[in-house]
Chain A
Amino acid sequence: DGGITQSPKYLFRKEGQNVTLSCEQNLNHDAMYWYRQDPGQGLRLIYYSQIVNDFQKGDIAEGYSVSREKKESFPLTVTSAQKNPTAFYLCASSLSVVHQPQHFGDGTRLSIL
């Protein structure tokens, strides 16, 4: 089935540790996105990528990093600089950034030990 796969579903981080969240899509979409969702709130954009080897900061990029070495993959690293990392992280993709709706993966819930 075509879609967006996020892994793991649940992730725990120790203080001072970096963790990487995986996002893979087989929809042949050019654009990919990472959002953060906190309880009772909407989605906030962390990073996005319009094309391979290109990515841009979103509204809340501090403490996060990404890479886009392959079209189908857009991993997100939550660094130790992110002081409040506990949240639900959602990856999305779209055919392009213009006039194309975004489709989401099932999310990764990150918690601090």
Chain B
Amino acid sequence: GQQLNQSPQSMFIQEGEDVSMNCTSSSIFNTWLWYKQDPGEGPVLLIALYKAGELTSNGRLTAQFGITRKDSFLNISASIPSDVGIYFCAGQLQTGANNLFFGTGTRLTVIP
């Protein structure tokens, strides 16, 4: 399958700080998705991006679809303790049924 490189693998930040993480691929994707997973739960969709250059916000979260269509970024502003979890990026191709590929996740720890 496709390889998505997600970084950083883990982050320890102080409450109130901003967070940035990114995902890169050697392949071009038509859709980028960002999910958050809490321990023992399924991933929850945070933001979906459908167009190169698109910048979309969901509360304190902002994600961008890279111009090259090979990368995406997620920013979290003013982090709070409930932001703790694992954040996954996923790239989706336009064609083919088996067309969604996941990054390995960024584990975020917020220190109160």
Question: What is the interface of chain B mostly: helix, strand, loop, or mixed?
Answer: loop
- Shortest CB–CB separation between residue A47 and chain B, in angstroms? 10
Most buried by B among A4, A42, A58: A42
Number of residue pairs spanning A and B whose beta carbons lie under 8 angstroms apart = 62
**Residue contact A42 to B97, C-beta cutoff 8 Å:** no
Q: Does A8 count as interface, using CB distance less than 8 angstroms?
A: no
- A13-21, A62-70, A75-83, A100-108: which one contacts chain B? A100-108
Using Cβ atoms and an 8 Å threshold, which residues of chain A touch B48?
A: 101
Residues of B in contact with A (beta carbons under 8 Å apart): 1, 4, 30-31, 33, 35, 40-45, 48, 50, 88, 90, 92, 94-100, 102-105
**Residue contact B94 to A58, C-beta cutoff 8 Å:** no
Q: Apart from A42-B88, A90-B43, what 7 extra A-B contacts exist at CB < 8 Å?
A: A6-B42, A98-B94, A98-B95, A102-B33, A104-B43, A105-B42, A107-B42
Total interface residues on A, using CB and 8 Å? 26
